[in-house]
Amino acid sequence: MFGKTSGLMVVILFLFTVIAVAAAESIPPKVGTALPDIDLLMPDNSADRKYLGLPSGGKTFQVGRIKAKVLIIQIYSMYCPYCQADAPNVNRLYGLLESNPALTGKVKLIGIGAGNTSFEVATYKKKYSVAFPLIPDADFKIHKIIGEVRTPYFIAVKITDGGRNEVVYSRLGALEDVEQFLGQIVRTVQSN
Partner 1 sequence: MKIKAVLLIFIICFFAGNACAASAAFENNIYNPGELKPTDSVLKVGVGNEAPAFTLPALSGKTVSLSDFRGRKNVVISFVPAAWTPVCSDQWPGYNIIQDIFESNDAVLLGITVDNIPTLFSWTNQMGKLWFDVLSDFWPHGSVAASFGVLRSDGMAERAMLIVDKKGLIRYIDVHNINQRPPLEDLVRELEKLK
Interacting residue ranges for partner 1, rule: CB under 8 A: 4, 7-8, 11-12, 15, 18-19, 22, 75, 77-85, 114-115, 117, 119-120, 123-124, 127, 138-140, 143-144, 148, 150-152, 172-174
Task: Give the nearer residue to partner 1 in terms of CB position, either 84 or 89.
Answer: 84
The minimum distance between CB 33 and partner 1, in angstroms, equals: 22
- Strand partners for 108: 71
The minimum distance between CB 9 and partner 1, in angstroms, equals: 10
d(CA 26, CA 15): 16
Provide the pairing of β-strand 107-114 with 70-76: parallel
The minimum distance between CB 123 and partner 1, in angstroms, equals: 6
d(CA 49, CA 148): 27
Contact by Cβ (8 Å): 100, 109: no
DSSP codes, 37-51: P--EEPPSSHHHHHH
Task: Give the nearer residue to partner 1 in terms of CB position, either 77 or 170.
Answer: 77
Q: Identify the CA nearest to 105 among candidates 68, 158, 135, 142.
A: 68
The minimum distance between CB 109 and partner 1, in angstroms, equals: 19
Task: Give the nearer residue to partner 1 in terms of CB position, either 12 or 47.
Answer: 12
Task: Give the nearer residue to partner 1 in terms of CB position, either 15 or 31.
Answer: 15
- Farthest-apart Cα atoms in the chain, separation: 73
Task: Give the nearer residue to partner 1 in terms of CB position, either 96 or 138.
Answer: 138
> String of b and e for 85-120 (b: at least 16 CB within 10 Å)?
ebbeebbebbebbbeeeebeebbbbbbbbbbbeeeb
The minimum distance between CB 11 and partner 1, in angstroms, equals: 6
